[in-house]
Chains A and B, each alone.
Chain A
Amino acid sequence: MSYQGKKNIPKITSERLLIKGGRIVNDDQSFFADIYMEDGVIKQIGDNLIVPGGVKTIEADGKMVIPGGIDIHTHLQMPFRGMNTVDDFSQGTKAALAGGTTMIVDHVIPEPGSSLLEAFERWREWADEKVCCDYSLHVDITHWSDGIKQEVLSLIKEKGVNSFQVYMAYKDLYQMSNSELYEIFTFLGEHGGIAQVHAENGEIIAEEQNRMLEMGITGPEGHVLSRPEELEAEAVFRAVTIASQTNCPLYVTRVMSKSAADIISQARKKGNVVFGEPITASLGTDGTHYWSKNWAKAASFVTSPPLSPDPTTPDYLSTLLASGDLSVVGSAHCTFSVAQKAIGKDDFTQIPEGVNGAEERMSIIWDKAVVTGKMDENMFVAVTSTNAAKILNLYPRKGRIAVGSDSDLVIWDTDAVRTITAKTHHSAAEYNVFEGMELRGAPMLVVCQGKVVLEDGKLNATAGTGRFIPCSPYPDFAYKRVKARKQLAVLKAVPRGMYDGPVSEFSPMSRGGTPSASTRTSPSKTPARNLHQSGFTLSGPEEAPIRPAGRRIVVPPGGRSNITSLS
């Protein structure tokens, strides 16, 4: 197996590793086998492997060995109003590694009006310098024009980006109109990209925000009150509709509420190609904290779409995740310090949005879904890693333990229990939205690019060792169905003779934005005639009925119409 991204691999002095006695868990099956890795690639899998001497051997003692997690949604070092999120690529990826995640996919957010390519290069620069694990990038389309089209095309073809996010919220900033969404989805559908969508109805949010502020609600509770669950569901529904019209695979980022998740599962039942991504926070906690008396605590939960105040939401989402209706779990890790959040202390619309979750992601899923019996270990691997790899077209290089795959793997300790607290987490944020939660399941050992980076609770990550992994377009996971449908969905006109019957006189006026070019083709206009004198009829033989007088009509030079009669 060879990968086009391989040339990017910097020569690293990789260890030779043998993991003995582990139970390899992929998304399809689990089996006991040893794994031998060399040069950051899995070389052998099986029993009684013949390996060179001097190999570092790790005893797994029957524990689960799973593919390293892929966090498909992070915002590390994200610039926002002149500041950056407190977790940069180094801090953020360290947190990810500590939680068993060995690859992240970050969002490039260009300023509206600026070049996507430049923004992409800037992000590459920031990341290459600091990142501790492999990474890839989504590019957000914050405005749309023909120039952007070219940039998107070159990002897909040359830069290794296959997923682009658009926004249905953030009115007057990032928000796209329905027609723009239609064009973007059409374009991405043609070129093998994945359309990611931030689904919330920005128009109504803007109205609701004004209403809340007018009512004197300025605290973080205003955030959730002005972004009710329905608006998320509505936008998801609309996005699904547009995607299905344009035959483009859709990926809904941050599924935060039951109703939004329901829409996705219904759409999937109807056969739409749509993927839903709940995030760590929506699986692990709920939105009741927005009403906390402690402003800083309430503000720390502010993210968009907001966490649902319905406390049964996390349970519901993990059920849908377990049943496969939601496909993949991201973290949407986007951490602002309390001081940064406090920009919005007197106006909730100013609070920078984002929660932590990169480190807790895998454990939360294990605790909420696997320990509770909703999900088996294979599904756990699918939603934390394999599905993401498939969507990004990185499978089986990532997301699977197989010969030839990258040696990103985790020995998962199902019995470990840890209490989440801001004091011990690896993020630079001084709060943690999961503060005090006791989670079962944690990584015991993490191997990233063939090197042990987490062992005995100690993290040995080196900034700048991560590689950019280019994603190629047309991932099979999404596009196999889309391609087949494209072949089927060829629309054909009905071949009819020319309509040569009378055409009514009318005053030309453009309607519905469509040009009325062909409206005046009937050449002449003659005095009124009774319709019952015409041979025009719609059904069966005519028995000279007495018809009410018709209206003024234009008779074509050919006289009576024939092709318009049924016979």
Chain B
Amino acid sequence: MSDCRRQWNREDELPVYLAKPISTGPSQRHKSYGYTSIDFQQYAVGRNENRSSRSSSRERIVDGDFEAYEISGGTFISSPGERDDGRPGVEITDQTEKECDCQNNGKSERLLIKGGRVVNDDQSQYADVYVEDGIIKQVGENLIVPGGVKVIEANGCMVIPGGIDVNTCLHKPYLGTPPVDDFYQGTKAALAGGTTMIIDHVTPQPGESLLEAFEKWQEVADKKSCCDYSLHLDIPHWHEGVKEELEQLVQEKGINSFQVYMAYKGLFQMPDSQLYEAFSFLKELGAVVLVHAENGDLIAQEQSKILGMGITGPEGHPLSHPEELEAEAVFRAITLGNRVNCPVYITKVMSKSAADTVATARKKGSVVFGEPITASLATDGSHYWSKNWAKAAAYVTSPPLSPDPTTPDHLNSLLSCGDLQVVGSGHCAYSTSQKAIGKDNFTLIPEGTNGVEERMGFVWDKAVASGKMDENQFVAVTSSNAAKIFNLYPRKGRIAVGSDADIVIWDPDKIKTITAKEQQSALEYNIFEGMECHGGPVYVVCQGRTVFEEGKLQVQQGTGRFISRKPFPDVAYQRIKCRTKMMSKQGVSRGIYDGPVYDVPATPKYITPSPSAKTSPTTHQPPPIRNLHQSNFSLSGAQIDDNVPRRSGHRIVAPPGGRSNITSLG
């Protein structure tokens, strides 16, 4: 493994994402790094281009070549390494520092993580990581760092990019009461689980302004959040006025993802035609469309049916939200996405059939992403039938957990093979007394499960420890893919020079028994209660500060920053852009049909206006009867039996020009 050790800090790897669209930096890196010999040649080429002076033997790199940097006053000077002959020093200017405006002055530590195995989504390598000002400054071996740096010995443990939880609801009120985990409790729990960034859902009430709701959320989160965050906006209903707000949100507020609902009839649900318009508009803006995919019409029907049967307990929830309704809506959402040519992101993939639908669509080339959540990967819906009402109600979320106990395994398999891309938590914590609002009617139980703290652990336990997934894919599904889809990459989701210092040291052998007693969440229950989870964070660095160490959390409210996101994420939109170019449709240029036109009363069909239905000049004249065999009208070439008399045709209106010519094939 030592082969792959090398320095990371070349000037072309400085945080380009801040200056340019992020595509150039990471893609170069993808190409030029790797630890097979073939990749080394590519690497060499890259190096030659970038540094013509450095054409010395390549074996050195293989031997563990490195570069060292002296750091003084925030300026980077790359100096020749001990074993590097005559390489010109490269000065990295203040640019870097200016770009680090995101740091919290003076608070951030200088950290050196030594002896760890840096695991990104594409490769793993042994390297040290040096962090300053909340940014990763150096990655490599034998780094030269200033004195007084806090050194963390990773002892060969995995060093991974901090997790990104793309689906939390930490401020989503239910009937006026907010969830018990607010941005403080929620992000604390996230950090304890190795997640260093969350993306929360802003859920405006129907009729409420999106912008106002966004600002409300931002205000609350700025005050309370302990880690970086970003926001998705849910669009409760579609009308013309929303468009302007959306435009503003995308262009000024840094939001690039919006959720629409196919469920919650009478509240958030949109009919297909509105979805079509919403998709079309969001696509123009370059946003990712998040879809809550369930057929709300049928759910409403099933709910009243099941209530009518006298089933009022939590088991009514999965009974009225059968798996099929989820799969159906996923299929419909993908169809809409294909039609509009818009990327679709399915939040909360809870069932096998929904996941299969996503996988099939991806095989056909649709740009669609699927997000299973902690709960759907780690537990199943059999608990809805628990005799304990509170326990059963704790599992209520929409779409519901599948009662099929093989579901988690199936979803983990699809996650491992890349058919599902991102794991969220769907963390939306309502206390038992809040859940008890629905004690006599399951449709009133507030929906949501915990999972933000357990997310990374269970992906490791269920997928990596079971051999379905490797550590790189683990990083991809817990962090990198999310960063790519929501255009945060490589600032987030990667350990590389210039990325944010959100780093987790992961211990694959750690064993933890999940219990509500020891969790960070304010909930009095945990749906994973009693489950044993292999793998967990031993050390968490967030924004360059140590926040979790030796099982202890040291967090500060309000330190989290809002991370704005640009539209048109490459991973979703590169294909979309090409397809838009390809897909321009053209009409067939034909002569004008001048044959007979049947006379119809002008009743419009469908909603399309029929302005052209009456353009035939001869409308009211009594049509002369003629035999069709006298016309030279024919549909397919000259006929052998053209002279055979034809049966008499129907009454038709002859145009003034008499016989038609262009309608014959000849």
Q: Mark B282-318, 1 if CB is under 8 A from A, else 0.
A: 0000000000000111111111101101111101100
**Which chain A residues border B646 with CB–CB below 8 Å?**
423, 430
Chain B interface residues toward A at CB < 8 A: 174-177, 180, 185, 264-267, 271-273, 276-277, 295-304, 306-307, 309-313, 315-316, 319, 322, 324-325, 327-328, 331-332, 335-336, 338-339, 385-392, 394, 430-441, 443-444, 515-518, 522, 524-526, 529-530, 585-588, 590-593, 595-598, 600-601, 603, 605-608, 610-613, 615-616, 628, 633, 635-637, 639, 641, 644, 646-647, 649-650, 652-653, 662-665
A421 contact set on B, CB distance < 8 A: 639, 641
**Within 8 Å CB of A217, what residues of B?**
585-587
Q: Other than the known A231-B335, A435-B635, A514-B300, what 17 A-B pairs have Cβ atoms closer than 8 Å?
A: A82-B601, A204-B273, A215-B585, A221-B588, A228-B339, A237-B328, A244-B324, A350-B610, A424-B641, A430-B628, A436-B636, A498-B439, A512-B443, A513-B300, A514-B444, A531-B433, A548-B522
A69–B173 CA distance with the chains assembled, in angstroms: 62
Some 16 contacts from A to B, beta carbons below 8 A apart, are A178-B298, A201-B335, A204-B273, A206-B607, A218-B587, A219-B588, A237-B327, A238-B332, A423-B644, A423-B646, A494-B313, A499-B436, A510-B266, A518-B441, A519-B441, A540-B530
Contact between A225 and B585, CB atoms less than 8 A apart: yes
Q: Does A538 contact B (CB under 8 A)?
A: yes
- A207 / chain B contacts, CB cutoff of 8 Å: 273, 276-277
Q: Are B310 and A493 in contact (CB under 8 A)?
A: yes
The yes or no answer to A442 lying at the interface (CB within 8 A) is no
Residues of B within 8 A of A462 (CB): none
A564 to B322, CA, bound (A): 26
A245 to B306, CA, bound (A): 12
B310: chain A residues within 8 A (beta carbon): 493
Contact B596–A338 (Cβ < 8 Å): yes
Which listed segment binds B: A133-141, A359-367, A377-385, A550-558? A550-558
Q: Is the CB of B392 within 8 A of A494?
A: yes
* B residues in contact with A550, CB < 8 Å: 180, 431, 433, 522, 524
Tell me the minimal C-beta distance from A360 to chain B in angstroms.
15
- Tell me the bound Cα distance from A230 to B338 in angstroms: 8
Given A231-B339, A550-B524, A347 and B610 contact (CB-CB distance below 8 Å): yes
B187 to chain A, nearest CB (A): 14
Minimum distance in angstroms from B587 CB to a CB of chain A: 4
- Which chain A residues (469-526) contact chain B, with CB distance < 8 Å? 491-499, 501-514, 516-519, 521
Given contacts A436-B636, A512-B267, contact A564 B313 (CB under 8 A): no
Instruction: State in angstroms the CA–CA spacing of A213 and B515 once bound together.
Output: 60
Among A424, A496, A565, contact of B313 (Cβ-Cβ < 8 Å): A496
A342 at the interface (CB under 8 A from B): yes
Chain B residues within 8 Å of A218, by CB? 587, 612
- Stretch of A113-121, A165-173, A404-412 that contacts chain B: A165-173
How many angstroms between the C-alpha atoms of A290 and B244 in the bound complex? Answer: 39
Contacting residues, chain A, for B593 (C-beta < 8 A) = 295-296, 342, 345
Task: Please tell me which one of the listed residues A297, A511, A564 contacts residue B388 in the complex, with CB atoms under 8 A apart.
Answer: A564
Whether B597 lies near A516 (C-beta < 8 A) is no
| Closest chain A residue, CB of each to CB of B304 | A514
For A341, give the chain B residue with the smallest CB separation.
B598
Counting from the closest, the 10 A-B pairs by CB-CB distance are: A178-B297, A346-B612, A203-B272, A506-B175, A507-B176, A502-B433, A217-B587, A518-B440, A504-B434, A553-B433
Given contacts A208-B339, A494-B387, contact A203 B271 (CB under 8 A): yes
Residue of A nearest to B366 (CB): A230
Within 8 Å by CB of A501, from B272, B390, B526, B616, lies: B390
- A206 in complex: contacting residue of B273, B331, B598, CB < 8 Å: B273
Of B433, B515, B596, B641, which one neighbours A423 at CB under 8 angstroms? Answer: B641
Residue of B515, B595, B612 touching A339 (CB-CB under 8 A): B595
Closest B residue to A177 by beta carbon equals B297
- Distance from A394 Cβ to chain B, minimum over Cβ atoms (Å): 32
Q: How far is the CA of A149 from the CA of B357 in the complex (A)?
A: 35
Contacts of B516 in A (CB 8 A): 538-539
The answer to whether A346 touches B392, judged by C-beta atoms less than 8 angstroms apart, is no
Complex partner residue of A519 from B392, B444, B529, B662, CB under 8 angstroms: B444
B585/A503 in contact, CB under 8 A: no
Interface of A is mostly: loop
Also in contact, A505 and B588, with CB within 8 A (given A241-B295, A513-B300, A514-B443): no
A291 surroundings in chain B (CB, below 8 A):
588
Task: State in angstroms the CA–CA spacing of A543 and B433 once bound together.
Answer: 21
Nearest-neighbour CB distance to chain B for A488, whole angstroms, equals 14
Contacts of B339 in A (CB 8 A): 204, 208, 228, 230-231
Q: Chain B residues near A178 (CB, 8 Å)?
A: 295, 297-298
Instruction: Give, as a whole number of angstroms, the nearest-CB distance from B177 to chain A.
Output: 5
Report the nearest A residue to B664, measured CB to CB.
Answer: A294
Instruction: For A505, list chain B residues within 8 Å (CB).
Output: 177
CA distance A513 to B297 in the complex (A): 10
Given that A171-B607, A342-B595 are contacting pairs, would A204 and B295 also be in contact in the complex, using a CB cutoff of 8 Å? no
Within 8 A of B (CB), among A406-442: 421-424, 428, 430-432, 435-436
Which residues of B have CB within 8 Å of A68? none
Q: Once the chains bind, are A83 and B598 in contact (CB under 8 Å)? A: yes
B390 interface neighbour in A295, A342, A493, A538, Cβ under 8 Å:
A538
A350 to B637, CA, bound (A): 27
Within 8 Å of chain B (Cβ to Cβ): is A337? Answer: yes
Interface size range on A against B: 35 or more
CB of A233 within 8 Å of the partner chain: yes
Alpha-carbon distance A499/B314, docked complex (angstroms): 12
- How far is B303's CA from A506's CA once the two chains are assembled, in angstroms? 22
In the complex, what distance in Å separates the CA atom of A537 from the CA atom of B391?
Answer: 9
User: When A296-B663, A297-B636, A340-B598 are in contact, do A508 and B175 touch as well, CB less than 8 Å?
Assistant: yes
CB distance from B175 to the nearest CB of A (A): 4
In the assembled complex, how far is the CB of residue A271 from the closest CB belonging to chain B, in whole angstroms?
A: 12
Q: Are the CB atoms of A511 and B443 closer together than 8 Å?
A: yes
Taken residue by residue from 190 to 210, chain A's Cβ proximity to chain B (1 for < 8 Å, 0 otherwise) reads as 000000000001011011111
Asked whether, in the complex, the Cβ of A536 is within 8 Å of the Cβ of B432, the reply is: yes
| A232 → B minimal CB distance (Å) | 10
Are A82 and B600 neighbours in the complex by a CB distance under 8 Å? yes
Cα of A345 to Cα of B341 in the assembled complex, Å: 29
Q: Which residues of B contact A519 (CB under 8 A)?
A: 437-438, 440-441, 444
| Chain A hits for B652, CB < 8 A | 337, 339
Contact of A563 with B389 at beta-carbon distance under 8 Å, contacts A494-B315, A512-B300 already known: yes
A179 at the interface (CB under 8 A from B): yes
How many Å lie between the Cα of A313 and that of B407 in the bound state?
34
A182 at the binding interface (Cβ < 8 Å): yes
A90: interface (CB < 8 Å)? no
**In the assembly, what is the distance between CA of A337 and CA of B597, in Å?**
10
**A234 within 8 Å of B (CB atoms):** yes
Q: In the docked arrangement, what's the CA distance between A208 and B336, Å?
A: 11
A68–B637 CA distance with the chains assembled, in angstroms: 34
Contacting residues, chain A, for B303 (C-beta < 8 A): 512, 514
> Quick one: closest B residue to A82, CB to CB?
B601
**B306 proximity list for chain A (CB < 8 A):** 491
Is the Cβ of A296 less than 8 Å from the Cβ of B635? yes
How far, in angstroms, from A349 to B264 measured CA to CA in the complex? Answer: 33
CB of A183 closer than 8 Å to a CB of B? yes
Q: Which residues of B contact A553 (CB under 8 A)?
A: 431, 433
Task: Give the Cβ gap from A117 to chain B, nearest Cβ, in Å.
Answer: 24
Q: In the complex, A84→B649 CA distance in Å?
A: 14
Residues of B near A208 (CB, < 8 A) are 339
CA of A231 to CA of B647, assembled, Å: 39
Given A337-B652, A491-B311: A234 and B332 interface contact (C-beta under 8 Å): yes
Query: In the complex, what residue of chain A is closest to B271 when comparing beta carbons?
Result: A203
A516 touches B441 (CB 8 A): yes
Expressed in whole angstroms, the Cα–Cα distance for A216 and B628 within the complex equals 32
A9 on the B face (CB < 8 A): no
**Within 8 Å CB of B444, what residues of A?**
511, 514, 516, 518-519
In the assembled complex, which residues on chain A have CB atoms less than 8 Å from the CB atom of B175?
Answer: 506-509, 511
**Which residue of A is nearest B330, CB measured?**
A237
